[in-house]
Amino acid sequence: MEISIKERDTALQLLEEQKYSLSVIYRESYLNKGRGSLIVHTYLLEIGHQLSVLDFRNRHESIELFDNKKSRRELTEMIDGYDPKREGILVLITKSNATWFATFKLASRRL
């Protein structure tokens, strides 16, 4: 578990460095697909993969990724409860297949 926590933290740091471009992706994806989440495989970030609208899944697609009822419920609550003008939902999948759900505060449009 400690390794997946380190992967998660590293991924969040890398994503924070791309905050403005991710904010644009979230806004565009929300307008085109509605509520959902950005699916992020941590190993892809490590090799320099640039996230795009192709990494965004709508609500149904995001929830269908999980078999575990608790995970589905938690993700459903996050997707249904976030403010798409201020934040986005991340589904981080580590190399060890641990999955983390997180909110991502969007950058101001003034940047």
Checking if the pLDDT of 111 tops 70, the result is no
The predicted-structure confidence for 16-55, as pLDDT tens digits, reads as follows 999 999 999 999 999 999 999 999 999 999 898 999 999 9
- Residue 45: which residues within 8 A CB-CB, separation 6 or more? 10, 11, 14, 15
CA-to-CA dists, residue 21 to 45, 50, 52, 75, 85, angstroms: 14, 9, 9, 23, 15
Q: What is the pLDDT of residue 32?
A: 96
Average of per-residue pLDDT across 75-86: 96
pLDDT band of residue 2 (cuts 50, 70, 90) is confident
Q: What is the pLDDT of residue 3?
A: 86
Contact (Cβ atoms closer than 8 angstroms) between residue 103 and residue 87: yes
